[in-house]
Chain A
Amino acid sequence: MTATVPAELIGRLSELQGRMQTVSRAEIAEVVSTLLAEMEGDLSEDNLKLYAELESLSRYILAAKSEIAALRPDEITAQHLPKATDELDAIVGATEEATNSILAAMETLETLAGELPPEQGDKVTEAVTQVYEACNFQDITGQRITKVVRTLKHIEEKVEALVAAFGDEIAKYKATHPEAAEEPEQKPAKPTDADLLNGPQLPDDASKQAEIDALLASFD
């Protein structure tokens, strides 16, 4: 489409631009009408349909961007995914520690089995062997969890890319929704029963027994 703007129209636009503060609505309407009239013939029905489709697509993209920003993908990468990964790592660590304790106890039993009469000693050794076999679980669960952690990291990378692409939208959303911008949300002074259901804490977050004892003692 190649539209040539007539010199007269350019002159009118320049004049209006020069006195932007005083130009009336009627004058603007007149210029726009002239402009549209000049464009006649350049805009086919197909073009108008295409423009309408593009406009609709543009609105759809804007709405999608807005909805994605409202989901706060920055929180997913900053808080939720790292927390989930830490929890899973803690499972691996805790099961490894427990398995080592079980194995140590079994090794002691196995040594003692050698001091028992052969028939009883064999029975103890057989039971100990079954425990060794059962302790395979730590390797298997550890490997499965490692796979899940790898998947979470992959998701994290994808979400990070999303955050980078929608950074402006997210900033706009935060600016217009300040109540959702900051987490954790304000909790009431007295936690509810639901607030108290946190499950086991990660090692760094967990209170030591001595700290709990000290807290209990502070009530006396």
Chain B
Amino acid sequence: MAVDLNMNVLIVDDYKTMLRIIRNLLKQLGFNNVDEATDGSAALQKLRDKEYGLVISDWNMEPMTGIQLLREVRADAKLKNMPFIMITAESKTENVIAAKEAGVNNYIVKPFNAATLKTKLVTVLGNF
């Protein structure tokens, strides 16, 4: 099934510059409906208020971290199948394992490039 480029994508990061970079890279790839949140709790609220097709989240945020957001999403009956990609500077093996155990679909380490983002999106969503 083709990827719907009109899907709503939620990007979550406490650095506004990073939100801007991810948004611009997604736009280059054809995703135009991108919303932003600066921590897990704000993101969770948006996910419950509107239908999204993908979450791309940072890990290290306050008050709710990316891994907490991921656990909340997986524990929510309506959101549990949401594709979820972590983009973070947390590159330790234990972080990746914890994210995988929490149900992350893919994991990108910062700093990242556009090609990596596209590859991960294709892996999670399919070709577009």
Which of A96, A129, A133, A143 is in CB contact (< 8 Å) with B16?
A: A96
Q: Is A103 in contact with B20, judged by CB distance below 8 angstroms? A: yes
Tell whether B113 is near chain A: CB-to-CB under 8 Å.
yes
User: Please, which residues of chain B bring their CB within 8 A of the CB of A142?
Assistant: 15
Answer whether residue A88 sits at the interface, using C-beta atoms and an 8 A cutoff. no
Which chain A residue shows the least CB distance to B27?
A: A110
Evaluate contact between A132 and B15: CB separation under 8 angstroms: no
Tell me whether B21 is interfacial, beta carbon within 8 Å: yes
How many chain B residues touch A (CB < 8 A): the figure is 17
Q: Once the chains bind, are B60 and A136 in contact (CB under 8 Å)?
A: no
Which B residues from 87 to 128 make CB contacts under 8 A with A? 89, 110-114
Residues of A within 8 A of B25 (CB): 129, 132
Q: Tell me if B18 counts as interface (CB < 8 A to partner A).
A: yes
Partner of A139, one of B28, B89, B113, B114: B89
Question: What residues on B are CB-neighbors of A96 within 8 Å?
Answer: 15-17
Asked whether B33 is an interface residue with its Cβ less than 8 Å from the other chain, the reply is: no
CA–CA, A129 and B27, complex, Å: 11
B24 within 8 A of A: yes
| Extra A-B contacts (9), CB below 8 Å, given A100-B17, A103-B17, A139-B89 | A107-B24, A129-B25, A133-B21, A133-B111, A136-B18, A138-B15, A139-B111, A142-B15, A143-B60
Chain A positions near chain B (C-beta within 8 angstroms): 96, 99-100, 103, 106-107, 110, 125, 129, 132-133, 135-140, 142-143
